[in-house]
Structure 1
């Protein structure tokens, strides 16, 4: 305990370990360091424990993510430990052991770190280590692969007793550098941070080396030809066609965001003869099944099955899955168990296509898929040297519906108004469209920035957030095939679509006699035809998901107001306005609301105004172009300029929870133009 800065060493070690997925999964595992500091109250040295707090991630761990506890008080808890039947009470006791402000909330594994009499401890979830932990004869294999340097610990739910068990094993085996936790993961220790890290990596690498040298070549059994991966384009197309159905399945009890992967390791697993048996066994490591649910839903049709047959079978399997999960809950629950959180799958596997995963947001969905890929790696390793044997369903239930896990869920912040919703906004690289995308993302939605200019779309998406929040795609709204590709990109990125904003637009300011047929077609193709094509392509997704949704048309006050010298523009806006009414009637039976927004001229940040429309309108009104925004404001009742954010606010309200019964409405966002009042 002579380190000058144990916390800094711990963070550096944690970041290195967490940066490599071979060492541990995202947000999985925890690390600790013990050291001495001066107590600011007594001025005397005090022994402290720094340990990664609950819910953090090793790869991105910062000092704020550490819990800090007094080691003497931590170890004194042994004397008041009431036994394994009441060990959950010890988590609350950690609050009385914190030093200073305490830092992050201590995790359930805190006892493991505090009670082991080594200065540095790592608890990790490496695939190679969990392969041993889930092998039917894992204890024998551990002795064979590691000798006496790594000790087998039978499965025990994480908690105070497990900490006592590991501490006792470490004392009885002074030459050991760590242990394999049955059904769970590994723990390693050392007198220095460098030694602990070295021991952790040695266990992980030795386990992998044993798997490589002693494992059989086909741990999943023979390849099933009819389940082989489809060709790339065919696979992606089928995934996109199935995605709305599967998202609806995963969202029957509560709406979910989706993620898709066709990682070669997933496709290999799904094409094997043992995939059905192994998938039915579910995952083992608590971090895995808490995110992937007790087991996945596996489509039992060949890869070349038609989309129609696949959809029909998926819906049948969903009913079976719900019945099976309900039976699992009822079998293992007791009167004190938390209510069932939902009976839908979090992981859906389609042979020849890939894996669909779901969660409360894109990151959660993506991470769930990554965890199931970890589970596939674990199954591969366990089957290569033995037989995969995860913990019993009764133990999985004890963790999935643990009172401590329920309390953790209850502490999570209230979701934002548009959480779990996916928005596709056309013409979203600038102006109104960009403001709408930014607002919906701020409200919790995932957003797809669709624009003719791919570079600008991607730039706008990057400004909003990472790939878990925003995606930039290219689309020409006059091209039905391009729109289909855009929709495909959206559903594969986020699972589906909930909000469609028809915003793409252009304008030419010309009087009747100067408006050419080409001018007319140009504007109508982009706005009237473009909106129709986008609505048609996305309506298929909205209907198949069965989750309702919103379609918004950014029309114009000119849809009802006869402004001068813009017959083509105003006529196409009137077309869009009536599309709102028509589609509101047609899509209402599917729970899809269709509404429009009629802004006044939005000058600031507008691509339309910057491309010549502004100059033409200024010429029409006989004012300098730079004064156009002020001119528009002065002719309104409220004397306020309409900004992109003003329109975005209206989109947020129309698609939010407070207007759930409103459809077929046009909302003026024009600061009050009496001539454009709706009648």
Structure 2
């Protein structure tokens, strides 16, 4: 439908306002809040003006909102729903009715907050979740504090679950208070309005900044109480080393019902909160804003030991607290569930707080886990503000349950796409910056895994991490696999980035092609150090993590057809590959009791894209076989049964086949990827 210049301008202004407000975490949390604009547009059917509203749709984020993320509704039809509204027990039916108010094709699905924007008589409306605003909204005497902070410029709306009735409430309060520029929504956030987009944004920012100044000027110096001796943050390196030790243990507990990806956060506000005497009481109260507790669950699990407690003692206590948490969550569900409530989604915590160390958060992917941590930091800021001027009093637990297990929330979850085969799995690939390693890392990432790219070449590894989507998808780790400490550090990187490791690909290698009499001890040692020793070290440290997680795992060795095929002038390389091939068998036998599967892939020579071949091995092997180096790939292909060249992607396919979920009962296997080399058949 053709739009007028005026409506184009209104939509552009709405998007610009949304981006500016959403870019500052003081204004609203990620994917939280919404904004709208109203204007007349020509109806293409009647040719007459029709009043429309553009509003952020369900699931979008203000900071990155696009026009496709807006729902477009006819205001006259939306407001006609007032005449048929049956009451608060039918909120779900009203959301379904929004679909009959949509105008034109495309656009986003209307969110639960659509009524707020459509029923309130203002051309432009913002609904936001600023920490300072929610602090007033969750204070025990929030209504009184709102009046002291704003006078009659901002009104108070008692808590009500988001929906049609809340829109009616705000519309009525605005009508009774024509001087008001917005409202504080009890337990929830703020809503502001204006005649123009600029005025609306200015009013939103005025409410937020005024609340911040009020809390700063009126607030107590230590709202979380005094520091508890022994619960202060450990020095940074010790803190992060302990976090890396604990992350796999905690991730395993948080994955009892379903696998989760982890995130570690030791921001100053988290550490300060956990060092203070009031943190157990406040954490037990849980968060209040619906956006917050939908991400963080009704409350976190909080460790009650100092950060320097013995590791065995901490692990034992975490197991006890986790068992208690699950029992409490099930009791919470059973306390409020009705016959038509959705089934319980899982009793594990989404947030685990460890004094002196930091916060561990969990979700179905890295972004979800990271955002959960961001939301709990928002909640800490809210608690600080509320406790500074009053007492923190979140909405009732029963109300939290009504939102957490709302049929509309369940429907939103059911609309989510099916997870990819490797979703929630954390992979570490050695030699990941080129050749087989790079192809494997790309394939695992494409199938949903979070990937740690371990390589000597830090720059190329980081370039690949950026290509794969940045730190929510992949991180780089500079690693010499022959160095015990660097290998352990790579596992710590995986633990802090994603919570642990589930899948390791031993791919790092090099090749030296010489006759026996020309092979030096240095050649022999270098070949064995990188591949035999390196694979051993990677597998050993990965096994420590996997055993701590108690989630099973996969170890895959990129061996070679040369592990069973005796080629000429190749003693150091062939013997090393035979070592790797037998490590597969030995570790499969040893680690099976922990649910860890160990398998191998035996490629033929992979020439194209290979760092090994480019580094001199290709020239050496071409000389051995008496062919031109650029024809080496063709030479290898012609000696196979299928007459096909093996590429890095073919090896990556085999790795995925072993780990993708169909071969759950396979361990100790070597998969040939050699296009058929009869001399290398496994016997």
**TM-score normalized with structure 1 length:** 0.99
Displacement over 6 Å in runs of 4+:
none
Does the CA-based 8 Å contact 1:69-1:102 persist in structure 2? Answer: no
Instruction: Show the counterpart of 1:393.
Output: 397
Match status 1:618 vs 2:622: yes
Alpha-carbon displacement from aligned partner over 1:102-139 (angstroms, at most 9, x marks no partner): 51000000000000000000000000000000000000
C-alpha distance in 2 between matches for 1:569 and 1:621: 17
Alpha-carbon displacement from aligned partner over 1:206-225 (angstroms, at most 9, x marks no partner): 00000000000100000112
Instruction: Show the counterpart of 2:607.
Output: 603
* Aligned pairs for 1:157-168 within 5 A: 157-168=161-172
* Aligned pairs for 1:314-329 within 5 A: 314-329=318-333
C-alpha distance in 1 between matches for 2:61 and 2:314: 38
Match status 1:129 vs 2:171: no
C-alpha distance in 1 between matches for 2:512 and 2:8: 70
C-alpha distance in 1 between matches for 2:60 and 2:461: 32
Which of these residues, 668, 672, 678, is aligned with residue 668 of structure 1? 672
C-alpha distance in 1 between matches for 2:162 and 2:469: 35
1:292 offset after TM fit, Å? 0.3
Instruction: Show the counterpart of 1:37.
Output: 41
Which of these residues, 553, 556, 559, is aligned with residue 557 of structure 2? 553
What secondary structure sits across from 1:148 in the alignment? coil
Instruction: Show the counterpart of 1:93.
Output: 97
C-alpha distance in 2 between matches for 1:351 and 1:381: 21
Instruction: Show the counterpart of 2:173.
Output: 169
1:308 offset after TM fit, Å? 1.4
Alpha-carbon displacement from aligned partner over 1:532-574 (angstroms, at most 9, x marks no partner): 0000011000011011110000000000000111100000000
Match status 1:678 vs 2:674: no
1:509 offset after TM fit, Å? 0.3
C-alpha distance in 2 between matches for 1:492 and 1:4: 46
Alpha-carbon displacement from aligned partner over 1:49-90 (angstroms, at most 9, x marks no partner): 000000000000000100000111011111111111112101
* Aligned pairs for 1:104-123 within 5 A: 104-123=108-127
Which of these residues, 69, 77, 80, is aligned with residue 81 of structure 2? 77
Which of these residues, 11, 27, 32, is aligned with residue 7 of structure 1? 11
C-alpha distance in 2 between matches for 1:3 and 1:48: 9
Number of aligned positions between the proteins:
679
C-alpha distance in 2 between matches for 1:469 and 1:138: 41
Instruction: Show the counterpart of 2:428.
Output: 424
What secondary structure sits across from 2:104 in the alignment? strand
Does the CA-based 8 Å contact 2:7-2:41 persist in structure 1? Answer: no
C-alpha distance in 2 between matches for 1:5 and 1:455: 44
1:3 offset after TM fit, Å? 6.1
* Aligned pairs for 1:218-617 within 5 A: 218-617=222-621
C-alpha distance in 2 between matches for 1:570 and 1:365: 44
Unmatched runs of 5 consecutive residues or more in structure 1:
none
C-alpha distance in 1 between matches for 2:336 and 2:106: 36
C-alpha distance in 1 between matches for 2:42 and 2:324: 60
C-alpha distance in 2 between matches for 1:163 and 1:586: 62
* Aligned pairs for 1:175-190 within 5 A: 175-190=179-194
Which of these residues, 651, 656, 661, is aligned with residue 655 of structure 2? 651
What secondary structure sits across from 2:152 in the alignment? helix
C-alpha distance in 1 between matches for 2:97 and 2:666: 51
1:5 offset after TM fit, Å? 2.1
Match status 1:192 vs 2:158: no
Alpha-carbon displacement from aligned partner over 1:354-396 (angstroms, at most 9, x marks no partner): 0000000000000000000000000000000000000011000
1:299 offset after TM fit, Å? 0.3
Does the CA-based 8 Å contact 1:447-1:470 persist in structure 2? Answer: yes
Does the CA-based 8 Å contact 2:239-2:356 persist in structure 1? Answer: yes
What secondary structure sits across from 1:103 in the alignment? coil
1:303 offset after TM fit, Å? 1.7
1:233 offset after TM fit, Å? 0.7
C-alpha distance in 2 between matches for 1:633 and 1:91: 61
C-alpha distance in 1 between matches for 2:18 and 2:623: 64
Which of these residues, 145, 151, 154, is aligned with residue 155 of structure 2? 151
What secondary structure sits across from 1:301 in the alignment? coil
The more displaced of 568-577 and 39-48 is 39-48
1:288 offset after TM fit, Å? 0.3
What secondary structure sits across from 2:272 in the alignment? helix
Does the CA-based 8 Å contact 2:266-2:359 persist in structure 1? Answer: yes
Instruction: Show the counterpart of 1:141.
Output: 145
Alpha-carbon displacement from aligned partner over 1:35-58 (angstroms, at most 9, x marks no partner): 111111111111100000000000
Alpha-carbon displacement from aligned partner over 1:317-373 (angstroms, at most 9, x marks no partner): 000000000000000101110000000000000000000000000000000000000
C-alpha distance in 2 between matches for 1:606 and 1:407: 48
C-alpha distance in 2 between matches for 1:158 and 1:410: 20
**TM-score normalized with structure 2 length:** 0.99
C-alpha distance in 2 between matches for 1:178 and 1:305: 49
C-alpha distance in 2 between matches for 1:225 and 1:57: 41
Alpha-carbon displacement from aligned partner over 1:151-179 (angstroms, at most 9, x marks no partner): 11010000000000001111111000000
Instruction: Show the counterpart of 2:55.
Output: 51
C-alpha distance in 2 between matches for 1:276 and 1:380: 14
User: CA RMSD of the aligned region, Å?
Assistant: 0.8
Does the CA-based 8 Å contact 2:431-2:456 persist in structure 1? Answer: yes
C-alpha distance in 1 between matches for 2:577 and 2:118: 68
Unmatched runs of 5 consecutive residues or more in structure 2:
none
